[in-house]
Structure 1
């Protein structure tokens, strides 16, 4: 069944920008950074993504500690999680907020 979705020009532009950002993230080479700081509250939201039981695993593509982490769940979901900038986090929280 196909359901038409009517978007305003602003919503359509936002959709295209997000698609471009995710597409760019998919093309980056994967690297395991030494340390990456992620907000656990934001990370936990990806647990709510529904997929078939056999496809509930998340593929995670990291590049460095400053670029968005690409997260794919199931055959259709793609999302990005922006790491926290460690220098700013250290200034706000103090060195005890880092390892």
Structure 2
């Protein structure tokens, strides 16, 4: 069993930010909560990645990962805002989690979702590896880049801690490789550019895609 405490407002913000990257019709029906030396969430629909961090873990137990649905993220967002102080997160050995207010009597119990969610879980290792590669990659900035504005708009929903800038830093390496995006001190993500040739053949976008 793993137990840790976190500021409720920070946890709510991280859940809100992960929710923006877990759209309702995503092929990936969950986000992941990772608790190790650092606590963070990871969410993707394979076109954009969001990784809000909660910083160093204040607690004890073995490193653990918990799957969370959109409904779970929404509930944890509301719980974090309602607790008015710290949240105690308990993760039993059979996973799932129990989140309780330390100063206020609020609680959310989330069961183990593994058996009910069907998707290829290798996506999480791919997301971790991709973000690390993008952070190390030397840029070769293209003259022209095509982006899907609907995907880019997700980054506009990110909440940053009070007193920090909401501006995005974007590291563009080429016209066809994912873009590393950082927002504030706790959020890292990635965005897949549009393949202009494929998009130009799309009946929904037309030959004048983005122009």
Q: Are residues 97 and 49 of structure 1, via their aligned partners in 2, closer, same or farther at CA, if it must alter by over 3 Å?
A: same
Q: 1:33 to 1:15 in 2, by over 3 A?
A: same
**Given that residues 29 and 63 in structure 1 are in contact (C-alpha distance below 8 angstroms), is that contact kept between their aligned partners in structure 2?**
yes
Pair 1:97-2:209 in alignment: yes
CA offsets, 1:5-50, max 9 Å, x none? 5375x75x54333111100111111232111110001101101111
Match of 1:24 in 2: 133
Unaligned runs of 5+ in 2: 6-58, 60-88, 97-113, 115-119
Tell me, yes or no, if structure 1 residue 40 matches structure 2 residue 149: yes
Which whole-Å CA distance do the structure 2 matches of 1:97 and 1:47 have between them? 22
Structure in which a larger fraction of residues adopt strand: 2
Gaps of 5+ in 1: none
- Structure with max Cα Rg: 2
Mark the CA change 1:4 to 1:76 in structure 2 (over 3 Å): closer, same or farther.
Answer: farther
CA RMSD of aligned residues (A): 2.2
TM-score normalised to structure 2 length: 0.41
Equivalent residue in structure 1 for 2:167, among 33, 36, 57: 57
Q: Which has the higher contact order (CA 8 A, sep 6+)?
A: 1
Contact conserved, 1:90 with 1:98, CA < 8 A, in 2? no
